Amino acid sequence: MEQKRRTRIVDLLKTSEIGQQTNVKGWVRTKRGNKHVNFIALNDGSCIHNLQIVVDVPNFDEELLKRITTGASVSIIGEICESTGSGQKVEIQAKEIEILGDCDVDKYPLQPKKHSLEFLREIAHLRFRTNTFGAIARVRHSMIFAVHEFFTKKGFLNIHTPIITASDAEGAGEMFKVTTLDLDNTPKTEEGQIDYSKDFFGKATNLTVSGQLEGELAALAMGEIYTFGPTFRAENSNTTRHLSEFWMIEPEMAFYNLDDNMDLAEEFLKYLIKYALDNCSDDLKFLSQRLQEEEKNKKADERSMELIEKLEFVLAHDFIRLTYSEAIDILKNSKPNKKGKFKYPITGFGSDLQSEHERFLVEKHFKKPVILTDYPKDIKAFYMKLNDDGNTVRAMDVLFPQIGEIIGGSQREDSLEKLTGRMKEMDIPEEEMWWYLDTRRFGSVEHSGFGLGFERMMLFVTGMGNIRDVIPFPRAPKTAEF
RNA sequence: UCCCCAGUAGCUCAGUUGGUUAGAGCGGCGGACUGUUAAUCCGUAGGUCGUAGGUUCAAGUCCUACCUGGGGAGCCA
C-alpha cells in the first residue's frame, strides 16, 4: 500500500477537496450495513466526530471485512465524497483497506453502546477511546494551553517549583514521604527514631503539597509569576472533589493587595471559560448532550443549568464579593438556619463554614460564584496577612456552584514580626523556614497569590461530576492501577 | 476516617413474604434488507448470583465478617 502521510479526521471533515484521494487511520467505533454496502464509523481522536467510510462489499475480501470490528485499527485509502446520507457532509469511499491491529470482540471491553462512568473508571487505560473521555482529554489540553496563554499575555513568568521538598511546615495536608531507605531495615538514631541523615537527601523529604512558598521567593524578585505543576496530598479523602495527585496553578504577585488578587482570580477564571467556549465548542456540545440525558432521570427541581448556558452565565456576571462576617450574618438569618435545616447551625463569628453553607450561599442565595474574604485567623494558614482588627486575615476563597472552593488565596503577611508571631502561635518551627523568612527580612513588599485546583476547574468546564473522570490517570486512596 | 446504598450474563438492571429449571434490554454471534447514522427485523449462545462463614428441610433472597464500587460528610484545591 502506498504510504502517504495520513490526514486527520478533524481536517477531512472541514475539507472541500471533493474527489481527492486520501489516507485516514484510526479506530473503528461501529460497522453496519448489508451484503452490498458497509459503513464504518472511524475515529482518530482528533475530534469528537467520526468519519464515515463507505465500503462496497463486493470489492473486498469477506474475511478482511469480518476483521473490521469495534476497536480494531485500520488504514483506509479512498476518495473524499459528498455524503448522500444525512449525518455528515463528507465521507470516504474506500479503495484500499488495511487492518493495522485486530480487536477481539469477545475480549475488548468497550462495546458500541453506552457505558457507565463507573465501569469506564475500571478500564481507565481504554477510556480515551470513548466519546466522553476523548472530549475531556481535548478540553483538558485546551485549558492547559489557556492557562499559559493568560499568564504569558499578562507578563507573568512560569516558575518550576520543586516536586520533592524538605519543608513540612506549610500545613496544607498530609504528605507522601520520599525516601530511598530500606523500609525493612531503617537506620535509627540514638533515640530510636528513623535517622534521615542517612537518607538520600540527608534529611526527611516529601512530595510537595504546594509550590506557594517557593513561588513567593520568585515573585519577590520577578514581580509576577505562576506555577502549574503536580501537587500531592496523602489525605485519606474519598470524595468526588479530591485527588491524591492533582495539578495546581499558583500565581504569586508582588505589589498586589487582596483586591488586586480577587480581580486577577475572576479575570483568570473567566478567561479559561471563554477559551473553552471559543475553542472547544464541539466537545462541549457533546458533553452537554450527555449531561442532558442524565438530567432526564433526575427530578425537575434537581436539574442543573445546561452546560454551555451555565458557562455563559458565569461569564456574564460579576462574582459576588463579601466578607466572612457578612456571610455569617446572611447564613445566621437564613431560612435553613432558622428552621434547623443545617447539620452545623451557624451561631456567629468563628463558626467554620461547611459545604452546606457554601452551597447555600452560591446555589440558593446569590446564584452566582462568590468570593469570601477576611476569614477568622484561627481557621486559616500562618502566612496570611493579619487585618488591623487582629482577628481576621486577608484570605479569599472563590466558591463555585456544585464544586465549592475552586480557589483559595490571600494577601501574604509581609511583616517579619507579625509573620514570626503567627508561626509561634501555630507551632511552626522558624529554623526550617529561614529561607522563606528572608523574603521578609530583605526588601519585603506587599504581595498576594492564590491556588486554583486545575481538576476542579475541569469539573466546572466539562460539567462532569467526579474529579476522577477529568484527569487521565487518577490517583486516590487505594487507586493507582493505571 | 465516619455515615448511607449497591454488588445477579460482556454492560445496565429486574428477581415477590426464603420454595422447584435464573429473567429482560443492550452488546456478541448467525441470518434478512442496495445508503446506514450507537440502523432495523428474525434467530441464537452466554450465569461459581462479590468472597468466606452461618441460620434453615430449603438461601440470589435472612444474619455476620471481609472485599469492591457509588453517594454524602470531614480535610482541602
Tens-digit pLDDT profile for residues A366-383: 999 999 999 999 999 999
pLDDT (tens digit per residue) in A379-430: 999 999 999 999 999 999 999 998 999 999 999 999 999 999 999 998 888 8
What's the pLDDT band for A348 if we cut at 50, 70, 90?
confident
**Cα separation, A273 vs A308, whole angstroms:** 10
Residues 6+ apart with CB under 8 A from A321: A262, A370, A371, A373
β pairing state of A205-207 and A177-178 = antiparallel
Strand partners, A194: A188
Q: Which three cell numbers stand for residue A390?
A: 487582629
Q: Which three cell numbers stand for residue A342?
A: 443545617
Interface predicted TM-score (ipTM) of this complex, two decimals = 0.93
A475 and A238 Cβ atoms separated by less than 8 Å:
no
How confident is the prediction for chain A on average, in pLDDT? 93
What pLDDT score does A169 carry? Answer: 59
What pLDDT score does A121 carry? Answer: 95
pLDDT(A3) > 60: no
Residues 6+ apart with CB under 8 A from A476: A237, A238, A242, A243, A244, A468
Give all strands of the β-sheet with A392-400 in edge-to-edge order: A157-158, A224-232, A245-254, A447-453, A404-411, A392-400, A370-376, A320-323
Q: Which residue is nearest to nucleotide B11 (CA to C1')?
A: A115
pLDDT (tens digit per residue) in A315-346: 999 999 999 999 999 999 999 999 988 989 99
pLDDT(A226) > 80: yes
**Cα separation, A410 vs A413, whole angstroms:** 9
Question: In the 8-state DSSP scheme, what is residue A432?
Answer: G
Q: Which of residues 91-150 of A touch strand B (CB under 7 A)?
A: 91, 93, 105-106, 109, 111-116, 118-119, 121-122
What pLDDT score does A179 carry? Answer: 95
Strand segments (E) across A273-425: 320-323, 370-376, 392-400, 404-411
pLDDT(A159) > 70: yes
What pLDDT score does A294 carry? Answer: 84
What integer is the mean pLDDT of A437-451?
97
Please name the residue that has the C-alpha cell 500562618: A382
A380 and A324 Cβ atoms separated by less than 8 Å:
no
Other Cβ atoms closer than 10 A to A384: 24
Residues 6+ apart with CB under 8 A from A217: A435, A436, A439
Give all strands of the β-sheet with A177-178 in edge-to-edge order: A164-165, A205-207, A177-178
**Cα separation, A269 vs A451, whole angstroms:** 12
Whether nucleic acid strand B comes within 7 Å of the CB of A406, the answer is yes
β pairing state of A90-101 and A157-158 = unpaired
What integer is the mean pLDDT of A27-40?
94
Q: pTM higher than 0.80 for the full model?
A: yes
Phi, psi of A158 (to 5 degrees): -85, 125
Whether nucleic acid strand B comes within 7 Å of the CB of A85, the answer is yes
**Under CATH, what is the fold of the domain A9-101?**
OB fold (Dihydrolipoamide Acetyltransferase, E2P) (2.40.50)
Separation in Å: B27 C1' and A290 CA: 20
A129-174+209-319+368-469 has CATH 3.30.930.10 classification: yes
What pLDDT score does A429 carry? Answer: 87
Give CA separation, A449 vs A104, A224, A263, A444, A452, in Å.
52, 10, 11, 15, 10
A434 and A472 Cβ atoms separated by less than 8 Å:
no
What pLDDT score does A299 carry? Answer: 65
Whether nucleic acid strand B comes within 7 Å of the CB of A32, the answer is yes
- The residues of chain A that CATH labels 3.30.930.10 are 129-174+209-319+368-469
Whether nucleic acid strand B comes within 7 Å of the CB of A453, the answer is yes
What pLDDT score does A310 carry? Answer: 94
**Percent of the residues in chain A that have a pLDDT greater than 70, as a whole number:** 97
Separation in Å: B49 C1' and A479 CA: 27
Radius of gyration of chain A from Cα atoms? 27
pLDDT (tens digit per residue) in A261-308: 999 999 999 999 999 999 999 999 999 999 998 877 766 666 778 999
A260 and A239 Cβ atoms separated by less than 8 Å:
no
Separation in Å: B53 C1' and A162 CA: 51
Whether nucleic acid strand B comes within 7 Å of the CB of A345, the answer is no
What pLDDT score does A17 carry? Answer: 87
Separation in Å: B14 C1' and A219 CA: 62
Separation in Å: B27 C1' and A30 CA: 12
pLDDT(A454) > 90: yes
What pLDDT score does A20 carry? Answer: 93
**Cα separation, A75 vs A403, whole angstroms:** 43
Classified as helix, coil or strand, A342 is coil
pLDDT (tens digit per residue) in A42-61: 999 999 999 999 999 999 99
Q: Which three cell numbers stand for residue A356?
A: 452546606
Within 7 A of a protein CB, which nucleotides of strand B? 1-2, 10-13, 26-30, 32-40, 68-77
β pairing state of A21-33 and A392-400 = unpaired
- The residues of chain A that CATH labels 2.40.50.140 are 9-101
Separation in Å: B66 C1' and A461 CA: 39
Separation in Å: B47 C1' and A67 CA: 29
Region for A403 from its dihedrals, namely left if φ exceeds 0, alpha if ψ lies in -120 to 50, beta otherwise: alpha
Secondary structure (DSSP) of A356-383: HHHHIIIIIII-S-EEEEEEEGGGS-TT
pLDDT(A137) > 60: yes
Whether nucleic acid strand B comes within 7 Å of the CB of A402, the answer is no
Whether nucleic acid strand B comes within 7 Å of the CB of A426, the answer is no
What pLDDT score does A394 carry? Answer: 97
Q: Which residue is nearest to nucleotide B39 (CA to C1')?
A: A32
What pLDDT score does A301 carry? Answer: 63
